[in-house]
């Protein structure tokens, strides 16, 4: 296979220094915590692009790895946190900073690739940890296990956003094309270069005090990455050992990169402009007609003046009051961590009862009710167990969940990660905080406002929906190149344009142009002019997001010669992607019920989003060496499974196949299942035509299923719609 002509998975509208935001939701730890603030926040994780379209860097933590640091055991349950969580596993969390290709991260998130046995069950290592497929796992030297890192999500989430139910998409946070200058582009790239070299561990206290990312008193030990990388785009340089890591979370990572870029910029000769992220109150953000136009064109509406400041707030960080932090802390303790630990106990109780010789046994909720309603001596008689065993059951079901929740809350509130903190409720008075969240960055980091030799005010302030491109064949790859010493400098003057419906060339503002390692932004009417570029022969490409359609327009790539001491003209034409490439999105909801003969029925009303899935008639040529990739790009299987009480799942699976007329055939099947061997109960087929406009209606289906357990059935009502849009 000619790998030079194969394009990997890309975020097509993201360049180095741009920020990727993943929507959270109220169920996850960080998403739930941020949703309890005032106002509630919607994005829970983020990363920074360090290579155009194909590579990003992030600071994150592996929750499964933290559980390896549970200290204690009880009633035969090993690694039960009866003594809390070992301090080193909670304070300096792993992996911290790491770089992933978009392809690696996307497939990790979508497929969660694990080694499996002949029955399809995940293979386990010696410590009972799932083994990732080669190339997808990151090895933790402290525990010896490898873990999949899938923190960045790529699909929209159905969520109530500012009072309205809607799809919340992952975002690319950058600057508005109309305000983007070459200085802004290159300053973001300067930050991305610094971000490559930052080494951090993940530290929960960063959500209280974001500035610990630049405070050496909070440095921790070397983590996943032991060495600094070679400099990019230079062909030279070596790597050096890393001995210490900075304390950060996902959103303080880019803030720390900017602080380090400013530090290095001040040391340069001549000094580089200092970067101002927000600037308020001393540097008001841009407020003019162009800024208003950019605000209206952002995909996710910004609320730029809602974030709070005080005199102690560093630029780019924000104030969180004690009242909202207390509410969030109580949610974390009462509604997240205690139930989470109880659920894990519930999973272990069948083995506990079996070892104790108790037939049937009880779940956590029933056991807690029994232990609180009756004297312990009576409970011992009822269960036929020794009083000492009953004492351990009290620890297991009551003390242990509270202890773990206390320790985690204190880690967030005050950096007290000691095991003694499991018995402390100091977190109930968390005080104020100064930090930054993904939503703060979306809303408040400034758009390009002003620039000079001394400072650049604003690098972001605008966003677009993430635009994914799947692997494909590149018909016009760059020509082979060699490193040569430039003999001088020259200049470029040209225009970036595309053809409108009348066939006329129209210049575009804000297109990003790359000439070798130089990066430029087109100005009014598509003008590109730059002096002082190193002379030589280069490959030139340009890319632009059409604000009217959301499609990514690309140039075909061309050779450019910059003469020594002279100039060259440049004409760059942009082309829309072919409409033979489709993005298929399935959204819907389920109404689920588990009927009970005695007691209250269980109801669930989950919403779901599947995709987008990318299918096309021409991602790959009809060549035998690309046959497997071509088949996968034309027909894919997708689906969702939603939990029904403690009974089983409601499952929907769809086979998607693109047709010659660009429509998508959807063959669906649905069932209520207790195990994977249960039969499919309903099947059907939809033909979904290509949309002419995003506002065109979805093609929908309604499914009703019942599975009777005597006179008390389990039922599912499923409604879903399919959209067939042009892929970006």
Q: For residues 436 and 212, is the Cβ–Cβ distance under 8 A?
A: no
Above 80 in pLDDT, residue 269?
yes
pLDDT digits (tens, 9 = 90+) for 483-502: 888 889 999 999 999 998 89
Q: Which of 256, 250, 302 is nearest to 277 (CA)?
A: 256
Q: At what angle do helices 376-383 and 364-373 cross, to 10 degrees?
A: 130
pLDDT value at residue 708: 83
Q: Token digits for 132?
A: 């990732």
* For residues 124-143, average pLDDT: 92
pLDDT value at residue 127: 87
Q: Which of 230, 227, 246, 249 is nearest to 238 (CA)?
A: 230
pLDDT digits (tens, 9 = 90+) for 706-724: 998 667 899 999 999 999 9
pLDDT digits (tens, 9 = 90+) for 379-405: 888 888 888 888 888 888 888 999 999
Percent of the chain scored above 90 by pLDDT?
A: 72
Write the CB contacts of 120 (distance below 8 Å, at least 6 apart in sequence): none
pLDDT value at residue 227: 61
Judging by beta carbons within 10 Å of its beta carbon (0-12, 13-18, 19+), is residue 619 exposed, middle or buried? buried
Question: Could you identify the residue written with the tokens 């894919």?
Answer: 636
Coil, helix or strand at residue 97: strand
Rg (CA), the chain: 28
* For residues 271-282, average pLDDT: 95
E strands, 433-488, in order: 433-435, 450-451, 455-457, 462-465, 468-469, 472-473
Alpha carbon separation from 255 to 144, 196, 197, 351, 604 (Å, rounded): 32, 13, 14, 47, 40
**Quick count: other Cβ atoms within 10 Å of Cβ 172?**
23
Q: Is the peptide bond before 281 cis (omega within 30 degrees of 0)?
A: yes
Which of 250 and 487 is assigned the larger pLDDT? Answer: 250
Distance CA 558, CA 568 (A): 13
Distance CA 28, CA 10 (A): 26
E strands, 596-713, in order: 602-604, 607-616, 635-644, 648-658, 664-673, 682-688, 699-707
pLDDT digits (tens, 9 = 90+) for 648-675: 999 999 999 999 999 999 999 999 999 9
* For residues 284-306, average pLDDT: 91
pLDDT band with cut points at 50, 70 and 90 for residue 224: confident
Distance CA 298, CA 177 (A): 10
pLDDT value at residue 710: 67
Lowest mean pLDDT among 213-227, 353-367, 536-550: 353-367
Write the CB contacts of 55 (distance below 8 Å, at least 6 apart in sequence): 49, 99, 100, 101, 102
- Rounded to the nearest 5°, which phi and psi values hold at 183? -60, -45
Distance CA 438, CA 13 (A): 19
Q: Token digits for 37?
A: 């603030």
Lowest mean pLDDT among 29-43, 226-240, 446-460: 226-240
Rounded to a whole number of angstroms, the distance between the first and last alpha carbons of the chain is 25
- Count Cβ neighbours within 10 Å for each residue of 511-546 and write b for 16 or more, e otherwise: bbbbbbebbbbbbeebebebeebbbbebbbbbbbbe
Write the CB contacts of 191 (distance below 8 Å, at least 6 apart in sequence): 17, 48, 254, 257, 258, 261, 275, 459
Please state the separation of Cα 719 from the chain's center in Å: 27
Q: What is the DSSP string of 307-360?
A: SB--TTPPTT-EEE-HHHHHHHHHIIIIIIIHHHHHHHHHHHHHHHHHHHT-SS
pLDDT band with cut points at 50, 70 and 90 for residue 234: low
Pairing of strands 200-202, 244-248: parallel
Average pLDDT, the chain: 92
Alpha carbon separation from 692 to 582, 609, 648, 662 (Å, rounded): 12, 22, 40, 11
Q: For residues 15 and 56, is the Cβ–Cβ distance under 8 A?
A: no
Lowest mean pLDDT among 92-101, 292-301, 597-606, 706-715: 706-715
pLDDT value at residue 626: 93
Distance CA 103, CA 629 (A): 15
Q: Which of 57, 107, 81, 15 is nearest to 471 (CA)?
A: 107
Distance CA 476, CA 483 (A): 21
pLDDT band with cut points at 50, 70 and 90 for residue 27: low
pLDDT value at residue 239: 59
Above 80 in pLDDT, residue 167?
yes
Percent of the chain scored above 70 by pLDDT?
A: 97
Distance CA 412, CA 202 (A): 12
H/E element, 254: helix 252-267
pLDDT value at residue 691: 93
Which of 33 and 26 is assigned the larger pLDDT? Answer: 33
pLDDT digits (tens, 9 = 90+) for 150-159: 999 999 999 8
Distance CA 250, CA 276 (A): 20
pLDDT value at residue 51: 96
- Rounded to the nearest 5°, which phi and psi values hold at 594? -115, 110
- Taking phi over 0 as left and psi of -120 to 50 as alpha, with beta for the rest, 599 belongs to left
pLDDT value at residue 223: 79
pLDDT digits (tens, 9 = 90+) for 516-570: 989 999 999 999 999 999 999 999 999 999 988 889 999 999 999 999 988 888 9
């Amino acid at each position: 296979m000619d790998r030079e002509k194969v394009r990997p998975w890309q975020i097509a509208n993201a360049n180095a220094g741009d920020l990727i935001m993943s929507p959270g939701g109220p169920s996850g730890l960080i998403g739930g915590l941020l949703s309890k603030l005032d106002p509630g926040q919607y994005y829970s994780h983020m990363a920074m692009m360090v290579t155009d379209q194909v590579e990003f860097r992030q600071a994150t933590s592996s929750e499964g790895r933290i559980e390896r640091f549970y200290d204690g055991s009880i009633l035969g349950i090993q690694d039960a946190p009866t003594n809390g969580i070992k301090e080193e596993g909670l304070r300096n969390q792993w992996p911290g900073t790491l770089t992933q290709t978009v392809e690696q991260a996307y497939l990790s998130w979508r497929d969660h690739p694990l080694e499996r046995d002949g029955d399809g069950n995940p293979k386990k290592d010696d410590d009972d940890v799932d083994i990732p497929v080669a190339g997808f796992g990151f090895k933790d030297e402290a525990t010896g296990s490898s873990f999949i890192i899938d923190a960045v999500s790529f699909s929209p989430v159905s969520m109530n956003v500012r009072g309205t139910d809607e799809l919340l998409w992952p975002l690319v946070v950058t600057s508005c094309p109309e305000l983007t200058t070459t200085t802004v582009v290159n300053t973001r790239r300067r930050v991305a270069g610094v971000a490559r070299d930052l080494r951090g561990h993940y530290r929960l206290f960063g959500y209280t005090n974001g500035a610990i990312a630049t405070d050496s008193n909070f440095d921790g030990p070397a983590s996943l990455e032991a060495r600094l990388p070679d400099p990019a785009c230079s062909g030279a340089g070596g790597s050096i050992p890393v001995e210490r890591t900075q304390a950060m979370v996902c959103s303080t990572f880019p803030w720390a990169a900017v602080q380090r870029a400013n530090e290095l910029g001040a040391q340069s000769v001549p000094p580089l402009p200092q970067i101002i992220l927000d600037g308020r109150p001393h540097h008001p953000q841009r407020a003019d007609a162009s800024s208003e136009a950019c605000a209206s064109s952002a995909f996710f509406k910004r609320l730029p003046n809602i974030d709070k400041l005080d005199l102690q707030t560093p630029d780019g960080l924000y104030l969180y009051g004690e009242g909202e932090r207390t509410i969030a802390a109580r949610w974390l303790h009462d509604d997240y961590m205690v139930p989470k630990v109880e659920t894990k106990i519930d999973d272990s109780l069948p083995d506990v009862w079996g070892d104790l010789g108790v037939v049937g046994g009880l779940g956590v909720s029933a056991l807690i009710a029994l232990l609180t309603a009756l004297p312990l001596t009576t409970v011992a008689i009822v269960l036929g167990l020794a009083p000492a065993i009953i004492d351990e059951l009290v620890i297991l079901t009551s003390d242990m969940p509270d202890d773990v929740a206390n320790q985690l809350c204190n880690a967030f509130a005050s950096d007290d990660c000691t095991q003694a903190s499991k018995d402390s409720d100091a977190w109930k008075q968390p005080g104020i905080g100064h930090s930054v969240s993904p939503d703060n960055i979306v809303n408040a980091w400034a758009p390009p406002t002003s620039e000079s030799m001394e400072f650049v005010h604003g690098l972001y302030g605008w966003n677009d929906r993430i635009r994914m491109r799947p692997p494909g064949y590149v018909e016009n790859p760059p020509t082979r190149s060699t490193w040569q010493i430039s003999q001088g400098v020259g200049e470029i003057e040209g225009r970036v344009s595309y053809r409108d419906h009348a066939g006329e060339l129209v210049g575009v503002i804000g297109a990003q142009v790359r000439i070798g390692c130089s990066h430029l932004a087109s100005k009014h009417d598509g003008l590109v002019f730059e002096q002082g570029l190193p002379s030589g022969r280069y490959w030139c490409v340009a890319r632009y997001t059409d604000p009217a359609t959301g499609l990514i327009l690309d140039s075909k790539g061309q050779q450019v010669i910059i003469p020594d001491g002279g100039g060259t003209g440049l004409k760059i034409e942009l082309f829309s992607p072919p409409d033979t490439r489709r993005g298929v999105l399935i959204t819907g909801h389920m109404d689920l019920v588990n009927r009970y003969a005695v007691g209250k029925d269980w109801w669930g009303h989950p919403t779901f989003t599947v995709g987008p899935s990318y299918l096309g008639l021409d991602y790959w040529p009809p060549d035998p060496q690309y046959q497997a990739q071509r088949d996968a790009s034309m027909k894919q299987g997708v689906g969702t499974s939603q939990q029904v009480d403690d009974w089983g799942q409601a499952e929907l699976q769809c086979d998607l196949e693109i047709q010659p007329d660009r429509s998508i055939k959807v063959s669906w099947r649905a069932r209520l299942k207790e195990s994977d061997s249960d039969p499919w109960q309903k099947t059907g087929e939809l033909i979904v035509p290509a949309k002419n406009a995003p506002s065109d209606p979805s093609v929908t289906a309604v499914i009703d299923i019942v599975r009777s357990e005597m006179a008390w059935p389990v039922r599912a009502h499923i409604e879903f719609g399919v959209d067939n849009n042009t892929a970006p």
